[in-house]
Amino acid sequence: MASSDQNPGKVFLNSFNLSSADLLHISDLLVKEFEEGLSKKDHNSPVKMLNAYVHGLPTGKERGRYFALDLGGSNFRTLLVTIEENGTISQLSEKFALDENMMATTQEVLFDKVAESLISFAAKQGVKETLPLGFTFSFPVHQLAINKGNLIR
């Protein structure tokens, strides 16, 4: 069949078919960028790769309830994640808007807002006990310790 007779959708999708050699080449380029990003002291690399003080990784055997916070851009989300004994995961979440003033304020004001929102969310979900908390901060930070870092602009 001539290419002009092919379905345009199939032609488009076929452009995403990559050979093993293409995939290996892309992988090599990514690893090179990651290594360059990790080696930079000035953080001007196109790929921001910063060391973090993570002391343990998930094992896949975690069970129970966890809070998660996702702070990035003009919103942040609070989540209550439940991992059942059979590994089934469910989550409840609430999104909060952060206006430009909030993003340009002091760290105390910003994180007080985050804490107040988490307290409100926990109350709405009927959570009274202390739960482990995961936190995603979607901005480049040069982390100095588990509880200390400098925002990179």
Ordered DSSP codes for 36-75: HHHH-SS--SSS------------S---EEEEEEEEETTE
Yes or no: say if 150 and 142 are a contact pair by the CB < 8 Å rule. Answer: yes
Yes or no: say if 127 and 80 are a contact pair by the CB < 8 Å rule. Answer: yes
Yes or no: say if 138 and 97 are a contact pair by the CB < 8 Å rule. Answer: no
Q: What is the pLDDT along the chain (153 residues), one digit of tens a residue?
A: 445 567 888 889 888 899 999 999 999 999 988 888 777 666 566 776 777 777 778 888 999 999 999 988 778 899 999 999 999 999 999 998 888 887 778 888 888 988 999 999 999 999 999 999 998 887 777 788 777 888 776
Pairing of strands 133-137, 89-97: unpaired
Whole-prediction pTM: 0.64
Task: Give the pLDDT score at 135.
Answer: 87
Q: Phi then psi for 42, rounded to 5 degrees?
A: -95, -5
